[in-house]
């Protein structure tokens, strides 16, 4: 049984997920445990692929990591982090692009029993300082160079202004004085088997809308559940590749990228800095591939001949958003020459909703009639609440805003209201908007579910 099937309790015989028990107990397990399990059974399977142009913008070699090698490096990093003697559950910031280092660092922080706080590398000094103070960071892992930027130097100035930051470490050449060199940390640090009883996943923190004043806490189990819910639509098989253009800085990038790959036992390749030629080369690489991209890129791919190895394309929207038309007629505005297109809609950092376009789980149908969401109730439920606001509950959307550094108490059985409502036409959703601004939509520009 695959990790994804075990988490969702999807019936082995292939019957619809909706036929599962109405309340499914979800296993308490972390990403690191899933990585280690795949490493034991399939040590030579590829876990992470660095982009080929990585040396140009980081000064570091592009490396392809097997599951076995990734598990070993994660444990080396985790042992070093444990040596810092921080209290269990300390907040450790990760200010890294979506390369292999970020994957290894996220897993190492979890393995050390701490909370990973995802800091976008695009943030300036003031936003980093606001986040560090609001969350109460004890340490930050970053990178010495990222193109023309120097994230490690930027964080040095943050450390001079925020005395709670006890440790600052960076990958890469030319690490500034006073900053721990993580490359040496990995090569010369302690080695050995993982502890018999690794700590339970302490969770992670992301920021709603990229706002450093809006930190949101999510448990490790909730992140895995969000990835499992996405994989019901994406159907990534073990050993296949996820090619993502979204960095692991928020729920969108984590649940569709890193977490999805580890839950599925697949390969992850992230392009942190978009380059058209590099993207085209990565897309043409042989092997079954699942593309994850921001929604605006669909127009650029429409009408183009896509590689035959491309199994699916997931286009990620962020509420408020308008859903693209469902016409697949040649020459149409969304005429993507691909059999499987998935729309994924992020409701801030609360929930991630994915559905196959033109199928029963199409978001236009599910948002219009939430009872059509065919997921186990323990994983995710959705309804229209007060003022038609879209409301969620379940393990996949179990998140809580941090208040003075402490998560607001919440349970998986609690309904979480979002500020968004569906824009409806003839019972189908054409998009979502802020509830106060919601209006009934006029006729869509093109026919929904037109024949190919």
Mean pLDDT of 212-218: 95
pLDDT at 451 over 60: no
Q: SS3 for 290?
A: strand
Query: How many residues does this entry show for the chain?
Result: 452
For the chain, percent of residues with pLDDT exceeding 70: 84
Please tell me the predicted confidence (pLDDT) of residue 194. 60
Q: In what order do the strands lie in the sheet with 321-322?
A: 321-322, 428-434, 416-425, 389-393, 381-384
Q: What is the pTM of this model?
A: 0.88
Indicate the average pLDDT of the chain. Answer: 86
Question: What does the alpha-carbon distance between residue 450 and residue 53 come to, in Å, rounded to a whole number?
Answer: 41
Q: Which range is least confidently modeled, 221-235, 291-305, 362-376, 434-448?
A: 434-448
pLDDT digits (tens, 9 = 90+) for 264-279: 999 999 998 788 888 9
pLDDT digits (tens, 9 = 90+) for 67-108: 999 999 999 999 999 989 899 999 999 999 988 999 999 999
More confident of the two residues 233 and 413: 233
Question: What does the alpha-carbon distance between residue 367 and residue 418 come to, in Å, rounded to a whole number?
Answer: 13
CATH number of the domain at 42-200, out of 3.40.50.980, 3.40.50.620, 3.30.43.10, 3.30.70.120?
3.40.50.980
Count of CA atoms in the C-beta half-sphere (13 A) of 338: 26
Q: Give the CATH H-level superfamily of domain 1-30+219-452.
A: ANL, N-terminal domain (3.40.50.12780)
**Domain pair 1-30+219-452 / 42-200, same fold:** yes
Please tell me the predicted confidence (pLDDT) of residue 403. 74
pLDDT at 329 over 90: no
Please tell me the predicted confidence (pLDDT) of residue 104. 95
pLDDT at 331 over 60: no
pLDDT at 232 over 80: yes
More confident of the two residues 211 and 58: 211
295 close to 319: Cβ distance less than 8 angstroms: no
Please tell me the predicted confidence (pLDDT) of residue 162. 96
Please tell me the predicted confidence (pLDDT) of residue 298. 92
Beta strands 289-294 and 310-318 are parallel
Please tell me the predicted confidence (pLDDT) of residue 148. 85
Task: Retrieve residue 19's tokens.
Answer: 């036929």
Task: Parse the chain into domains and list their residue ranges.
Answer: 1-30+219-452, 42-200
**Block residue for tokens 């990178």:** 143
> In which element (H, E) is residue 205 found?
strand 204-207
Please tell me the predicted confidence (pLDDT) of residue 387. 85
Q: How confident is the model at residue 426 (pLDDT cuts 50, 70, 90)?
A: confident
Q: How confident is the model at residue 14 (pLDDT cuts 50, 70, 90)?
A: very low
Mean pLDDT of 375-402: 92
**Could you say which DSSP state residue 256 is in?**
I
Q: Which range is least confidently modeled, 11-25, 173-187, 240-254, 388-402?
A: 11-25
180 close to 9: Cβ distance less than 8 angstroms: no
Please tell me the predicted confidence (pLDDT) of residue 215. 96
Please tell me the predicted confidence (pLDDT) of residue 411. 57
Which is nearest to 348 in space by CA: 273, 417, 257? Answer: 417
Please tell me the predicted confidence (pLDDT) of residue 27. 46
pLDDT at 9 over 60: no
């Amino acid at each position: 049984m695959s990790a994804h099937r075990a988490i969702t309790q999807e019936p082995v015989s292939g019957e619809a997920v909706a036929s599962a028990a109405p309340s499914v107990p979800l296993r308490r397990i972390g990403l690191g445990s899933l990585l280690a399990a795949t490493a034991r059974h399939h040590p030579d399977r590829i876990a992470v692929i660095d982009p080929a142009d990585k040396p140009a913008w980081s000064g570091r070699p592009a490396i392809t990591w097997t599951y076995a090698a990734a598990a070993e490096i994660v444990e080396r990093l985790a042992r070093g982090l444990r040596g810092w003697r921080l209290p269990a559950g300390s907040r450790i910031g990760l200010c890294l692009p979506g390369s292999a280092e970020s994957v290894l660092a996220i897993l190492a922080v979890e393995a050390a029993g701490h909370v990973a706080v995802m800091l976008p590398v695009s943030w300036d000094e003031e936003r980093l300082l606001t986040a560090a103070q609001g969350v109460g960071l004890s340490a930050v892992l970053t990178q010495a160079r990222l193109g023309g930027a120097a994230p490690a130097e930027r964080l040095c100035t943050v450390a001079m202004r925020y005395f709670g930051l006890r440790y600052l470490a960076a990958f890469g050449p030319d690490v500034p004085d006073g900053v721990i060199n993580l490359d040496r940390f990995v090569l010369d640090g302690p080695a050995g088997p993982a502890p018999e009883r690794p700590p339970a996943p302490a969770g992670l923190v992301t920021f709603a809308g990229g706002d450093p004043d809006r930190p949101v806490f999510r448990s490790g189990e909730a992140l895995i559940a969000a990835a499992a819910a996405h994989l019901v639509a994406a159907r990534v098989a073990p050993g296949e590749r996820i090619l993502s253009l979204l960095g692991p800085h928020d729920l969108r990038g984590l649940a569709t990228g890193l977490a999805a790959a580890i839950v599925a036992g697949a390969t992850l390749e992230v392009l942190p800095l978009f380059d058209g030629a590099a993207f085209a080369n990565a897309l043409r690489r042989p092997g079954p591939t699942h593309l994850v991209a921001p929604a605006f890129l669909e127009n650029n791919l429409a009408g183009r001949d896509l590689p035959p190895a491309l199994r699916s394309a997931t286009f990620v929207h962020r509420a408020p958003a308008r859903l693209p038309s469902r016409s697949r007629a040649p020459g149409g505005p969304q005429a993507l020459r691909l059999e499987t297109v998935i729309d994924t809609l992020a409701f801030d950092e609360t929930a991630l909703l994915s559905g196959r376009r033109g199928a029963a789980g199409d978001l236009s149908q599910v948002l219009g009639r939430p009872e059509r969401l065919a997921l186990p109730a323990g994983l995710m439920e959705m309804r229209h609440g007060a003022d038609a606001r879209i409301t969620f509950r379940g393990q996949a959307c179990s998140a809580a805003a941090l208040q003075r550094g402490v998560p607001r108490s919440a349970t998986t059985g609690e309904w979480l209201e979002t500020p968004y409502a569906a824009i409806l036409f003839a019972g189908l959703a054409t998009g979502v908007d802020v509830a106060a601004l919601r209006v009934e939509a006029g006729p869509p520009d093109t026919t929904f579910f037109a024949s190919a």
